[in-house]
Amino acid sequence: MKILVIGSGGREHALVWKLAQSPHVTQMWCAPGNVGIAEERLAKNSGAVECVNISTDQLPALLAFAQEKKVDLTVVGPDNPLALGIVDFFQKSGQRIWGPNQKAAQFESSKVFSQDFMEKHGIPTACAGTFSDVKEARRFAESLEGKCAVKADGLALGKGVLICATLEEAKKAIDEILVNKAFGIAGAKIVIQEFLEGMEISLHAICDGKTAKLFPTAQDHKRALEGDQGLNTGGMGTYSPTPFLNETELAETGRKILFPWLKGCAEEGIDFRGILYPGIMLTKNGPKVLEFNARFGDPETQIYLTRLESDLVEVLDASVNGTLDKIDLKWNSNASVCVVMASGGYPGDYAKGKPISGLDVVAKLPNTKVFHAGNARHGNRIVTNGGRVLGVTSWASDLKKARAAAYLAVGKIQFDGAQFRRDIAAKALGQ
Ligand code: AMP
Ligand code: GLY
């Protein structure tokens, strides 16, 4: 089977790494890929994974490539091509592709759509309103005494959510998005949610239009600094499983969210084939959905795929074919921890081109894998080239050991200004 993966981050490196282990895969490309992806080899024939210089939003070029190489399955990593309708575009030409179509991808590409859907179909979420009128938005924020999350409707590079503690902040946030158009057209409408307190966790479910199968629990660390301080980022580290939701509670949460979600999709003619990734707040009144994403999380993928025993090609195939009810997702009993090493200053401005050392040493460590993201090759050196640079991932029989192994590996990697959190998975261990 010939596979094309779309994307260039740590998530896509993890997808390529896992797909390359499948005996079904004879050839693989990644557009545009990254330094780490280019070093992966296929288990079946030791063939190299080839990176192709096409960006994720060049849909006609991606389709032409898939057709020319007779790709059997294209796997979409990031949200942007999904929101642009890459799945519909490929399918129109009879090209097989994994991911939600444009209508289904609205769960991520429109927060207004998601909020309306959750309210209509009884999915537990925050008390919220959707607005395009400034005065109405302010009135609603006043009713919440300013304690709220103000969210731009559309995709805004992960920056479109403003958390407010006072009415002043809420008014400023509303003006920023609706009046000053800080996020352009993505902010033509906003969702205002009550501020929810609790522990935040990530859920993932693979779906095929009729069936949704939950993954184990995971927790991301969104803030840049230790102790959940500093600015929101794409994610500074993850671990799985999390002790904050046991097996029974996970199954119960799945029932409360996925049953009405699947029923709602059926009623509204939404054929969702891909990953549904709800961000959940565990509040004292039960779990509530903060948002839906319509793709694998980054860096959740890095820990999930180091725990997945099943053949990922077979899982994605079943998702495309509508046969997920016929397969069992198998997970190993390991815990997995991913610590993100970022460029100094991220998520603000940061320097690029800093040489990275120690990767060769870490490559020899057992049960550890470094997933590459924002870096580049300069001659025979690997240098930093983005915000999140590496996802250092280790697994072991328990969380304490996995965490120690991940930090041991992090300690062996150096680049100028390297920034990482020292408390990934610490809360889970009562530290
Ligand atoms: P979102 O992209 O909607 O998940 O929002 C980004 C981050 O903002 C989330 O991961 C939460 O940490 C935080 N957040 C979003 N909505 C709320 C809310 N209603 N209450 C508290 N925090 C929130
Ligand atoms: N882990 C955060 C995200 O993928 O959006």
Q: Other CB atoms closer than 10 Å to residue 23's CB: what's the count?
A: 12
Residue 423 CB contacts under 8 Å (≥ 6 apart), including other chains: 221, 226, 227, 431
CA 290 to ligand 1 center in whole angstroms? 6
For residue 311, the model assigns a pLDDT of 98
For residue 167, the model assigns a pLDDT of 97
Q: Mutation test of ligand 2: which of 298, 303, 340 has the most ligand atoms closer than 8 Å to its C-beta? A: 298
Q: Mutation test of ligand 2: which of 155, 202, 295 has the most ligand atoms closer than 8 Å to its C-beta? A: 202
> 348: closest CA among 229, 231, 236?
231
Nearest ligand to the CA of 279 is: 1
> 320: closest CA among 74, 102, 2, 110?
74
> Among positive and negative, which fits the CA dihedral 80, 84, 86, 91?
positive
> 377: closest CA among 31, 37, 16?
37
Cα–Cα distance measured from residue 241 to residue 76, given in angstroms and rounded to the nearest whole number: 25
Is the CB–ligand 2 distance for residue 108 below 6 Å?
Answer: no
Q: Mutation test of ligand 1: which of 163, 276, 284 has the most ligand atoms closer than 8 Å to its C-beta? A: 163
> 386: closest CA among 330, 423, 346?
346
Q: Mutation test of ligand 1: which of 291, 292, 295, 300 has the most ligand atoms closer than 8 Å to its C-beta? A: 291
Cα–Cα distance measured from residue 335 to residue 364, given in angstroms and rounded to the nearest whole number: 20
Pocket of ligand 1 (CB under 6 A): 126, 149, 151, 161, 163, 193, 195-196, 200, 222, 232, 279, 290-291
CA 69 to ligand 2 center in whole angstroms? 31
* pTM value > 0.95: yes
- Locate the ligand 2 atom nearest the alpha carbon of residue 220 and give its number: 1
- Percent of the chain predicted with pLDDT > 70: 100
Cα–Cα distance measured from residue 259 to residue 119, given in angstroms and rounded to the nearest whole number: 14
Low-confidence ranges of the chain (pLDDT < 70): none
SS3 242: coil
Cα–Cα distance measured from residue 150 to residue 417, given in angstroms and rounded to the nearest whole number: 32
Tens of pLDDT, residues 148-205: 999 999 998 878 999 999 999 999 999 999 999 999 999 999 999 999 999 999 999 9
Cα–Cα distance measured from residue 377 to residue 359, given in angstroms and rounded to the nearest whole number: 13
> Among positive and negative, which fits the CA dihedral 341, 343, 344, 348?
negative
CA 297 to ligand 2 center in whole angstroms? 4
CA 370 to ligand 1 center in whole angstroms? 28
Cα–Cα distance measured from residue 4 to residue 360, given in angstroms and rounded to the nearest whole number: 27
For residue 378, the model assigns a pLDDT of 94
Q: Whose CA is nearest to atom 4 of ligand 1?
A: 291
CA 135 to ligand 2 center in whole angstroms? 32
Cα–Cα distance measured from residue 201 to residue 277, given in angstroms and rounded to the nearest whole number: 10
Cα–Cα distance measured from residue 210 to residue 319, given in angstroms and rounded to the nearest whole number: 10
Complete edge-to-edge strand list for the sheet that includes strand 335-342: 219-220, 237-240, 335-342, 388-396, 368-372
| DSSP run (H or E) holding 336 | strand 335-342
Q: Which segments of 24-133 does DSSP mark as H helices, in order?
A: 59-68, 79-83, 86-92, 102-109, 111-120
Tens of pLDDT, residues 357-398: 999 999 999 999 999 999 999 998 999 999 999 999 999 999
- Locate the ligand 2 atom nearest the alpha carbon of residue 295 and give its number: 4
For residue 158, the model assigns a pLDDT of 76
From residue 43, how far is each of 29, 305, 370 by CA, in Å?
Answer: 15, 16, 18
Do the Cβ atoms of 85 and 102 come closer than 8 Å? Answer: yes
358: burial class by Cβ within 10 Å (0-12, 13-18, 19+)?
Answer: middle
208, HSE (Cβ side, Cα atoms, 13 Å)? 16
CA 203 to ligand 1 center in whole angstroms? 14
Nearest ligand to the CA of 200 is: 1
Cα–Cα distance measured from residue 302 to residue 409, given in angstroms and rounded to the nearest whole number: 15
Nearest ligand to the CA of 228 is: 1
CA 298 to ligand 2 center in whole angstroms? 5
For residue 156, the model assigns a pLDDT of 87
Torsion of CA 165, 167, 168, 171, to 10 degrees: 110
Q: Which segments of 268-311 does DSSP mark as H helices, in order?
A: 300-307
Q: In b/e form, how buried is each residue of 382-395, taking b as 16+ CB within 10 angstroms?
A: bbbbbbbbbbbbbb
Q: Mutation test of ligand 2: which of 114, 215, 220, 275 has the most ligand atoms closer than 8 Å to its C-beta? A: 220
Do the Cβ atoms of 72 and 2 come closer than 8 Å? Answer: yes
Is the CB–ligand 2 distance for residue 235 below 6 Å?
Answer: yes
For residue 232, the model assigns a pLDDT of 87
